[in-house]
Chains A and B, each alone.
Chain A
Amino acid sequence: MQALYAQLLVGLINGSFYALLSLGLAVIFGMLNIINFAHGALYMMGAFCAYFLLSLTGLNYWWALLIAPIVVGIFGMILERTMLQWLSGLDHLYGLLLTFGIALIVQGVFQNYFGSSGLPYAIPDQLKGGMNLGFMFLPIYRAWVVIFSLVVCIATWFLIEKTRLGAYLRAATENPTLVRAFGINVPRMITLTYGLGVGLAALAGVLSAPINQVRPLMGADLIIVVFAVVVIGGMGSIMGSIITGFALGVIEGLTKYFYPEASNTVVFVLMVLVLLVKPTGLTGRAA
């Protein structure tokens, strides 16, 4: 039973990463009409950012949690201003190809300097240790990742669905020309949206650094799983992305316990099943 709870927790943690990443993908897709293939590479950059902050400047985990998303977000906004914005009006697939190229460049550069092995990143002192809940041992850091991710996800949902800024954002997704006519700077909003989505990826990267080590290819395989998550959940709804992300993480965790051989593939198999039963995805509207 202990092992089952442990795997459930691992599943919840992976689910947090899926949720944070697919949330970012959905927000970016809504505004830019681009599937950001570089999302995994930027997640990795977030983790490396935390690593550099600690090893070069001595700034700890808490600073990394704040600074890494900003740094990577600015990097993302530069990418958007210099490259992605030129793709508006072109077929979707050029955005995919361009961001795939960016991912290759970023991952290649990091691999050159850091190889493929992982760099350790210590759990911050305040979150070390664990609690005995009676039925299982709960490492505090892992609980923190799940709760913090959940809070960030819900805050993002609130920002987009319940605030004035979010209303502008949703309106600009529907009809950018009209929103521009109202005097709102839509291109700047697009840039900021990309920065936000990418910042969420970097945040996930920082959170995962103490758990998964910091590796140049840590995002490469993850992004493909997240794509499957996005296909399952559809990109139409923010809450849908969050729930699907966590749910699939839990299912993956359960699979690790009951049938470990399939733990790598279960998300993809579920994607196939969903496509067979409901081709538009669980929350998606017909494309």
Chain B
Amino acid sequence: MTALTDDTLPVAPRAVRDEMIVFVVMALLLISVPFSGIYPFFVMQALCFALLACAFNLLIGYGGLLSFGHAMFLGTAGYCSAHALKVWGLPPELGILVGVAGAFVLSIVTGYISIRRQGIYFSMITLALSQLLYFLYLQTPFTHGEDGIQGIPQGHLFGVFDLSKPTVLYYVVLGGFLGGFLLIYRIINSPFGEVLKSIRENEQRAISLGYRTDQYKFLAFVLSGTLAGFAGSLKVFVAQNASLTDVHWSMSGEVVLMTLVGGLGTIFGPVVGAFAIIAMQQYLAGFGQWVTVIQGSIFVICVLTFRRGVVGEIAHYFRRSL
């Protein structure tokens, strides 16, 4: 597991201050979006994927575990939330809770199974598990198969905020994203996060120091899966549907791509990557399958020449951690 961090940076005391400055700039930029005339739907969608990519990055960037099935949390939470909102008629806050709870349970089950193998096997197992779930969702009645759950009511959050108004919805999604982002930031900088990083660097040594590494990896998996589920629940309010696309392996691949482009193991990288990939899909929507070809090419270019990603390269240039 050495090569992931062949450029480990010395942690400067300024690092936290730098990160805070970048965070405030990012938050201010995002808060000002509704006044800028940018299509808010696009930004909301990007924010959901950014949170998903951040959750994925918690596992790969800090735990060294490449999950190739993170779409299963996105999709499962989406289906659970959509079902709770539409069929049970629950208010938005409870709908989100149901979705997150669904992803939480799923991450416990899948984490328990997949954490038993390491490295490349872990990736294959998560991919296979998400494919298993894909076929289950294809067949169970509550997901409505190919159609998905459509026309989901948005409702009033806490009985006050009318989510059918784009601006209100935007700030709710932004609040959810920033909350999730800060939580991940807190996890990374906690003692738990430090142990996780030590496992990524050298698992054998972490074991010899007396850490039960399996438990740490399991907890990281559950945290990552649950947060990915939160992103899925938020996405339901933006897209107003929950469909099989969100569980498909190509979605898992996109999450990997976003994080890779932004920079594996960087704090802001997944956000940059998510915006870049979503923007690319938006602009190239008319080119059909060429989008897939371009995505594949980005994968190849990133792996061969650009392994630190956009944010990683910038951080490396300025010798800072971002």
Does the CB pair A94–B296 fall under 8 Å? no
Q: With A and B bound together, what is the CA distance between A224 and B68 in angstroms?
A: 11
Chain B positions 41 through 80: 1 when the CB is less than 8 Å from some CB of chain A, otherwise 0:
0000000000000000000100000101000000000000
The A-contacting residues of B in range 124-146, CB under 8 angstroms, are 124-125, 127-129, 131-132, 135-136, 138-139
Q: At the interface, yes or no: A244 with Cβ under 8 Å from chain B?
A: no
Does the CB pair B295–A104 fall under 8 Å? yes
Does the CB pair A231–B117 fall under 8 Å? yes
Contact of B132 among A87, A111, A268 (CB under 8 A): A268
Does the CB pair B116–A275 fall under 8 Å? yes
Chain B positions 1 through 29: 1 when the CB is less than 8 Å from some CB of chain A, otherwise 0:
11110000000000000000000000000
Q: At the interface, yes or no: B303 with Cβ under 8 Å from chain A?
A: yes
Q: B3 contacts which chain A residues (CB < 8 A)? A: 89-91, 94
Q: Given A111-B292, A227-B127, A227-B128, does the pair A275, B113 have CB atoms closer than 8 Å? A: yes
Does the CB pair B117–A279 fall under 8 Å? yes
Q: With A and B bound together, what is the CA distance between A261 and B2 in angstroms?
A: 44
Closest to B125 in A: A231
Does the CB pair A98–B129 fall under 8 Å? no
Distance from B17 Cβ to chain A, minimum over Cβ atoms (Å): 31
Interface of B is mostly: helix
Q: With A and B bound together, what is the CA distance between A92 and B60 in angstroms?
A: 13
Contact of B300 among A90, A101, A231, A265 (CB under 8 A): A101
Does the CB pair A224–B290 fall under 8 Å? no
Q: B118 contacts which chain A residues (CB < 8 A)? A: 287
Q: At the interface, yes or no: B288 with Cβ under 8 Å from chain A?
A: yes
Which of A111, A221, A275, A287 has the largest number of chain B CB atoms within 10 A? A275
Q: With A and B bound together, what is the CA distance between A228 and B303 in angstroms?
A: 25
Does the CB pair B128–A228 fall under 8 Å? yes
Q: B256 contacts which chain A residues (CB < 8 A)? A: 97, 100
Q: With A and B bound together, what is the CA distance between A111 and B295 in angstroms?
A: 14
Q: At the interface, yes or no: A54 with Cβ under 8 Å from chain B?
A: no
Q: Given A97-B260, A105-B300, does the pair A92, B292 have CB atoms closer than 8 Å? A: no
Q: At the interface, yes or no: A103 with Cβ under 8 Å from chain B?
A: yes
Q: With A and B bound together, what is the CA distance between A3 and B69 in angstroms?
A: 35
Q: A231 contacts which chain B residues (CB < 8 A)? A: 117, 121, 124-125, 128
Q: At the interface, yes or no: A53 with Cβ under 8 Å from chain B?
A: no
Q: With A and B bound together, what is the CA distance between A236 and B97 in angstroms?
A: 44
Which of B4, B128, B302 has the largest number of chain A CB atoms within 10 A? B128
Does the CB pair A268–B116 fall under 8 Å? no
Closest to B66 in A: A93
Q: Given A89-B3, A92-B120, A227-B127, does the pair A97, B299 have CB atoms closer than 8 Å? A: yes
Q: At the interface, yes or no: B123 with Cβ under 8 Å from chain A?
A: yes
Q: B66 contacts which chain A residues (CB < 8 A)? A: 93, 96-97
Q: A123 contacts which chain B residues (CB < 8 A)? A: none
Chain A positions 94 through 126: 1 when the CB is less than 8 Å from some CB of chain B, otherwise 0:
101110111111111101100000000000000
Does the CB pair B128–A96 fall under 8 Å? no
Does the CB pair B120–A224 fall under 8 Å? no
Does the CB pair A272–B113 fall under 8 Å? yes
Distance from B215 Cβ to chain A, minimum over Cβ atoms (Å): 16
Does the CB pair B119–A271 fall under 8 Å? no
Q: With A and B bound together, what is the CA distance between A108 and B296 in angstroms?
A: 8
Q: Given A97-B260, A287-B121, does the pair A104, B127 have CB atoms closer than 8 Å? A: no
Q: B139 contacts which chain A residues (CB < 8 A)? A: 261
The B-contacting residues of A in range 218-241, CB under 8 angstroms, are 221, 224-225, 227-228, 230-231
Q: At the interface, yes or no: A163 with Cβ under 8 Å from chain B?
A: no
Q: Given A97-B256, A112-B290, does the pair A228, B124 have CB atoms closer than 8 Å? A: yes
Contact of A109 among B4, B121, B291, B293 (CB under 8 A): B293
Does the CB pair B290–A230 fall under 8 Å? no
Q: A261 contacts which chain B residues (CB < 8 A)? A: 139
Q: With A and B bound together, what is the CA distance between A276 and B125 in angstroms?
A: 12
Closest to A107 in B: B292
Which of B113, B136, B292 has the largest number of chain A CB atoms within 10 A? B292
Q: At the interface, yes or no: B164 with Cβ under 8 Å from chain A?
A: no
Q: At the interface, yes or no: B189 with Cβ under 8 Å from chain A?
A: no
Q: At the interface, yes or no: A86 with Cβ under 8 Å from chain B?
A: yes
Q: Given A89-B3, A271-B128, does the pair A101, B297 have CB atoms closer than 8 Å? A: yes
Q: At the interface, yes or no: A269 with Cβ under 8 Å from chain B?
A: yes
Distance from A195 Cβ to chain B, minimum over Cβ atoms (Å): 19
Closest to A83 in B: B304
Ordered by A's residue number, 17 sampled pairs between the chains whose C-beta atoms are within 8 Å are A87-B303, A91-B4, A92-B120, A93-B4, A93-B123, A97-B302, A100-B253, A101-B295, A103-B296, A108-B289, A108-B296, A112-B289, A112-B290, A221-B131, A231-B117, A268-B131, A275-B117
The 5 closest A-B CB pairs, nearest first, are A101-B299, A104-B296, A108-B292, A105-B296, A108-B293
Beyond the given pairs A92-B119, A94-B303, A265-B132, 8 more chain A to chain B contacts, judged by CB atoms under 8 angstroms and listed by A's residue number, are A93-B4, A98-B299, A101-B297, A104-B296, A105-B297, A105-B300, A106-B296, A272-B129
